[in-house]
Amino acid sequence: MNQVLITGASGLIGSRLTEMLQQGGVPVAHLGRTKTSGHVPSFVWDVSRGKIDEDALRRADVIIHLAGAGVADRRWSAARKKEILDSRLQSTQLLYHALERQKYQAKVLVAASAIGYYGFGMSDHEFSESDSPGKDFLADVTRQWEAAVDEIEKLGIRVVKIRIGIVLSNRGGALAEMAKPVKFCVGAPLGTGRQQVSWIHIDDLCGMFLMAARDEQMRGAYNGVAPNPVSNRMLTRAIALALKKPLWLPPVPPFVLKLLVGEMAEMLINGSNVSAAKILSTGFEFKFPAIEEALKDLLHR
Ligand SMILES: NC(=O)c1ccc[n+]([C@@H]2O[C@H](COP(=O)([O-])OP(=O)(O)OC[C@H]3O[C@@H](n4cnc5c(N)ncnc54)[C@H](OP(=O)(O)O)[C@@H]3O)[C@@H](O)[C@H]2O)c1
């Protein structure tokens, strides 16, 4: 790879991906709402105004597209829902038009998507990439986001979409939120606790993005999840065990979750069981296929 351009690079995944690329000696550049600090060339776009510094695209032969307003950062008001959708569609369309206007050298675009594509609440079904999208808000956002990303293929650029599961990192995201109450001895499973959590260690996810950028056989959608999903109860127990903390509270009832986080509670109460078979069939090797090893690595680092 000559140069990789990452959108939304200041976030959880983009910052780890930047580190891993730099460790591998690959030149990286960032495209975001503000310039990122550090030693990485950094370019700015204003997604809602349709403005982009096209110099960002001049040298990039790989584009990794992660930008989007945080799905779990705030309650889903009508305005927030619009921002979650618009930030993804408009940023993708902005890339499309810039790439269409000039013949830049990008050969591949690897885009973030989410397992929310399948909808939540069918834990007896294992979702694979050929399943149809679900019907709730996140499924609808993800379907439209992927459709916008697919347009870029018409420009002769190979497109890979990674349907990301719950990313476990020691620098924020879902694991930090789950570990916080456990650390204070008030951790508890959510809802029935039986719902499946399709998780992935951040380093495996970044490894998948890098493989998708390099492997010319890969195109279309791949689930970005570890091969061994766990129930919410097992995950909460494993976190408590890794932190050597007791777990004594009963599960948090669904109505309390709804009061706390509103419509987003559906995602936490229902979960989804997502298959890693397709990414495994490419020869991808997980460093952290099991939750115990992933948590040991992240919580004891
Ligand atoms: N983490 C997960 O568990 C998970 C799971 C499924 C899917 N994903 C998807 O993967 C992508 C990256 O995830 P992440 O965890 O790294 O997310 P993140 O930490 O929230 O970072 C996303 C980045 O997108 C940019 N951004 C935020 N609001 C924006 C807006 N209104 N318009 C344009 N850009 C905006 C920001 O970068 P700048 O400030 O540099 O512009 C931000 O740092 C996201 O699209 C997310 O939906 C993540």
3-state secondary structure of 9: coil
Pocket-forming residues, ligand 1, beta carbon under 6 Å? 8-14, 32-33, 47, 66-71, 83, 87, 91, 112, 114, 164, 166-167, 173-174
Distance 9 CA to ligand 1 centre (A): 8
Q: Which atom of ligand 1 is nearest to the CA of 72?
A: 20
Distance 41 CA to ligand 1 centre (A): 19
pLDDT of residue 123: 65
Distance from C-alpha of 81 to C-alpha of 73, rounded to nearest angstrom: 11
pLDDT of residue 120: 85
C-beta separation of 226 from 289 below 8 A: yes
Q: What is the pLDDT along the chain (301 residues), one digit of tens a residue?
A: 789 999 999 999 999 999 999 999 999 999 999 987 778 999 999 999 999 999 999 989 999 999 999 998 888 899 999 999 999 999 999 999 999 988 778 999 999 999 999 998 766 899 999 999 999 999 999 999 999 999 999 999 999 999 999 999 999 898 988 888 888 888 888 888 888 999 999 999 999 999 999 999 999 999 999 999 999 999 999 999 999 998 888 888 888 878 788 877 888 888 899 999 999 999 999 999 999 999 999 998 7
Distance from C-alpha of 246 to C-alpha of 240, rounded to nearest angstrom: 6
Distance from C-alpha of 170 to C-alpha of 298, rounded to nearest angstrom: 5
Place of tokens 């508890």: 188
Q: Identify the structural domains of the chain with CATH numbers, from first to last.
A: 4-165+200-226+273-286 (3.40.50.720)
Pairing of strands 4-7, 28-32: parallel
- CA-nearest residue, atom 32 of ligand 1: 87
Place of tokens 């951040």: 202
pLDDT of residue 249: 86
- CA-nearest residue, atom 41 of ligand 1: 32
pLDDT of residue 122: 67
Please indicate, yes or no, whether the overall pTM of this predicted structure exceeds 0.75: yes
| Strand ordering across the sheet containing 108-114 | 51-52, 42-46, 28-32, 4-7, 62-65, 108-114, 158-164, 220-224
- CA-nearest residue, atom 29 of ligand 1: 69
CA dihedral in degrees (66, 201, 275, 131; nearest 10)? -20
Phi, psi torsion values for 266, nearest 5 degrees: -55, -40
Mutate to test the pocket of ligand 1, among 5, 6, 13 (most ligand atoms within 8 A of CB): 13
